[in-house]
Amino acid sequence: MTGTTSTRLSDGRELIYFDDAGTSTPRAAEFTTDHRGLPPRGEPGEIRFDALTEEWVAVAAHRQSRTHLPPADQCPICPTTGSNPSEIPAADYDVVVFENRFPSLGPAVGPVPDQATWGTKGPAYGRCEVVSFTPEHTGSFSGLSEVRSRTVIEAWAQRTAALSALPGIKQVFPFENRGADIGVTLHHPHGQIYAYPYVTPRAGVLGAAARKFYEAQDGRETLTGSLLRAEREDGSRMVMEGENFSAYVPFAARWPLEIHLVPHRHVPDLAALSGEEKDELAHVYLDLLKRLDALYPTPTPYISAWHQAPLEPALRAAGYLHLQLTSPRRAADKLKYLAGSEAAMGAFINDTTPESVAERLRAVSVPPSAAFPAVLAAAPEGAPA
């Protein structure tokens, strides 16, 4: 069981320590007060309604002053030392979640204006949190132990539940950007959680398709569930199959590297997973990240995006938790850039075939982890599983 301790930083931001299971002395005992005396937090930025697309755009000009690739001895998410009073007052920790000091959304929460049209704007309500995966400054998620991976998953699940309960929140999005090529501004292994006051454009598209399918099936089957079944029956794009989760390269993958990891059970979000499912996820997720990193001699930049059912009632029932793990890397020394067709038109052109990518991901060998029972094995090469 993961122990948690909630505290406040000197400017009032919430910070929560999540301890690894089996930690004998609760880390809570070690936490110290934030003595930095930070100035009070500012007001939220602005959201503006784009009438051309009916989408909200967050205007966060105040974030220009945020930390950008600080040297290791000034890292804001390393544990505090005498010479580096960081964001995390403790001298050591396992996993920490805290409110971003330079948030795109928040800190206040509330509803977005309704009846939006040209000229409609409002406060950028919401919440942006940082999730530090480890006190170690170097490394990456794929190098974490399974116990630590499980703690991060527990943090995601608990924060999803807490953020979903805040007034006006419509979508909770845990994600990780890994690699400077993706725009990472901090090397320390970490992710983020955004709680939006509106359904994001991508979630809106996915949510509408899921709802249409679900209603056509009279609620008997979900779109994601049917795609999972179809991919498992076909087998040619499967990367792995477990007891509770399976991963595949989707039939119409958009990115040179793209993996979808889907729970077998229809759940809306990480908060709805059982303990057993989270245990397996800790193993499966590490395995996928290791496979990505085993493809090339250097670490592969990626975006790890947890798609959770929006809190909008009309989209909630058909929503289905899944991970979309994508990378623009198309060769050892080549990245795909979003240019005219993709960036301007949203029309993706993929230079790799999903089947060949799946075959490569199945074929790479990854070091096994031992902390949890090895319930999983990669699907045999080319064989329907």
Q: Which residues bind Zn ion (CB under 5 A)?
A: 75, 78, 137, 188
Residue number of the CB closest to Zn ion reads 75
- Residue ranges in 20-167 assigned as alpha helix (H): 146-164
Q: In whole angstroms, how close is the CB of 135 to Zn ion at the nearest point? A: 8
By beta-carbon proximity to Zn ion, the closer residue of 47 and 152 is: 152
Q: How far is the CB of 176 from Zn ion (least distance, A)?
A: 15
E-strand stretches of the chain: 4-8, 14-18, 46-50, 55-59, 95-99, 121-123, 127-132, 171-178, 190-196, 238-241, 245-248, 257-263, 302-307, 322-327, 329-331, 334-335, 377-378
Give 59 or 69: the residue with its C-beta nearer to Zn ion. Answer: 69
Distance CA 385, CA 243 (A): 13
The alpha carbons of the chain give a radius of gyration, in whole angstroms, of 21
Q: Which is nearer to Zn ion, 78 or 315 (CB)?
A: 78
Type of residue found at 120: T
Selecting among 62, 137, 188, 190, the annotated active-site residue is 190
Instruction: For Zn ion, give the closer residue by CB, 79 or 319.
Output: 79
Q: For this structure, is 137 an active site residue?
A: no
Instruction: Answer yes or no: are the C-beta atoms of 153 and 281 closer than 8 Å.
Output: yes
> Shortest gap between Cβ of 78 and Zn ion (angstroms)?
3
| Minimum CB–partner distance for residue 79 and Zn ion (Å) | 8
**Could you tell me which of 188, 214, 200, 162 has the C-alpha nearest to residue 57?**
200
Q: Which is nearer to Zn ion, 36 or 265 (CB)?
A: 36
Which C-beta is closer to Zn ion: that of 88 or that of 385?
A: 88
Provide the minimum distance between the beta carbon of 77 and Zn ion in the complex, in angstroms, as a whole number: 5
Shortest CB 7 distance to Zn ion, Å: 19
Strand 322-327 versus strand 329-331 pairing type: unpaired
The single-letter code of the amino acid at 27 is: R
In the structure encoding, which two tokens stand for residue 333, read together? 């020394």
Please state, in angstroms and rounded to a whole number, the distance separating the CA atoms of residues 12 and 103: 14
Instruction: Tell me how far apart the alpha carbons of residues 229 and 263 are, in angstroms, rounded to a whole number.
Output: 11
Give start and end residues of each alpha helix (H) in the chain: 146-164, 201-216, 223-234, 275-294, 313-316, 345, 354-363
Q: Which residues contact 271 (CB under 8 A, 6 or more apart)?
A: 157, 158, 160, 161, 164
Q: Which is nearer to Zn ion, 75 or 124 (CB)?
A: 75
Q: How far is the CB of 81 from Zn ion (least distance, A)?
A: 11
CA 188, CA 191: separation in Å to the nearest integer?
Answer: 10
Residue with tokens 């070690």: 30
Please check whether residue 102 is in contact with residue 76, taking contact to mean a CB–CB distance below 8 angstroms: no
Q: Measuring CA to CA, how many Å separate 260 from each of 38, 223, 231, 305, 361?
A: 41, 14, 11, 10, 13
Please identify every residue annotated as catalytic. Answer: 190
